[in-house]
Amino acid sequence: MGEVPAGAREAVGPGLVERRVTEGFPNRVSYDPTPLGVRLRPLLIELYRAGQRLQADGGV
């Protein structure tokens, strides 16, 4: 069984990513961003950077 990207399953419900199953042995599962997920990418990157800065400054 392969690793699922952190949070991928939780992101399917809100429509941020799309889950695709490719039949085979074993079946393969991939996750791709939806248009909404792509639009949110810059915001998520900035949130990540802000968290990194806070952590470096000892704020977290």
Rg (CA), the chain: 15
Supply the pTM of this predicted model: 0.61
The 10s digit of each residue's pLDDT in 45-56 is 999 999 999 999
CA-to-CA dists, residue 28 to 2, 3, 5, 33, 52, angstroms: 9, 11, 13, 17, 33
pLDDT at residue 1, rounded to an integer:
42
Give me the residue spans of the domains in the chain. Answer: 8-56
Beta bridge partners of 30: 20
Q: How confident is the model at residue 34 (pLDDT cuts 50, 70, 90)?
A: very high
- Choose among 10, 8, 14, 15: nearest CA to 30: 8
Q: Which CATH number fits domain 8-56: 3.30.70.60, 1.10.3720.10, 1.10.10.10, 1.20.1250.20?
A: 1.10.10.10
pLDDT at residue 3, rounded to an integer:
56
The 10s digit of each residue's pLDDT in 13-32 is 788 889 999 999 999 999 89
Query: Both ends of the chain: CA-CA distance in Å?
Result: 34
